[in-house]
Every structure is written in C-alpha cells, then in structure tokens.
C-alpha cells in the first residue's frame, strides 16, 4: 500500500480497536513516534490519520497530554 493511503489504514485500525474493545473511551493512543515506528510511515502520515479521526470525532487531542479515544456514540458516521 502506498504511504499516501496508509493513513486510512491507521485510522481504520484505531476504529476497529475501539469496536473490538481493545481500546476503550478515554484510553490514550500511542505517541506519533510510536505509531510511526509501528506502521513504518512518516510523521505526516500519522498526522493525517489523526486529523481524519478527529474529524470523525473518534479521538480528541489534549494539549500536552496526548490523544484520547472518545465514546463511539459520539462518532460521526463516514460519508
């Protein structure tokens, strides 16, 4: 998969982990550095994934604290 499409895989993986119960509302996601290493992608690719997840209200960012999973009931549905 070209790196340009990897951000979709990262976003889909996070949503799947929440649906399966592996991640729960309020859980902190790994750092961008950790996610980059796990997927072998650039900083920008992880940022794109997080922007997508934030737009769908799957995650929320807290300055200086991290990125956290939200309750799936608050998620926007994909168009």
Q: Is 68 helix (H, G, I), strand (E, B) or coil?
A: strand
Q: What is the Rg, in whole angstroms, of the alpha carbon atoms belonging to the chain?
A: 12
In a domain, 56, yes or no: yes
Average pLDDT for residues 13-24, to the nearest whole number?
Answer: 96
For residue 78, the model assigns a pLDDT of 56
In a domain, 63, yes or no: yes
pLDDT in tens, 35-53: 999 999 999 999 999 999 9
Are 43 and 36 within 8 A, CB to CB? yes
* 76 confidence band (pLDDT: 50, 70, 90): confident
Residue-number span of the structural domain to which 52 is assigned: 2-72
In a domain, 78, yes or no: no
Gap between the Cα atoms of 63 and 75, Å rounded: 21
**CATH code, domain with 63:** 1.10.10.10
The number of distinct structural domains making up the chain is 1
Q: Of the candidates 26, 46, 29, which has an alpha carbon nearest to the alpha carbon of residue 37?
A: 46
């Amino acid at each position: 998969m070209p790196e340009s499409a990897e951000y979709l895989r990262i976003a889909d993986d996070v949503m799947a982990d929440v649906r399966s119960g592996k991640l729960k509302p309020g859980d902190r996601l790994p750092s961008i550095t950790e996610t980059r290493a796990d997927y072998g992608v650039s900083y920008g690719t992880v940022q794109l994934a997080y922007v997508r997840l934030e737009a769908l209200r799957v995650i929320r960012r807290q300055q200086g604290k991290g990125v956290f999973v939200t309750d799936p009931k608050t998620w926007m549905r994909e168009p």
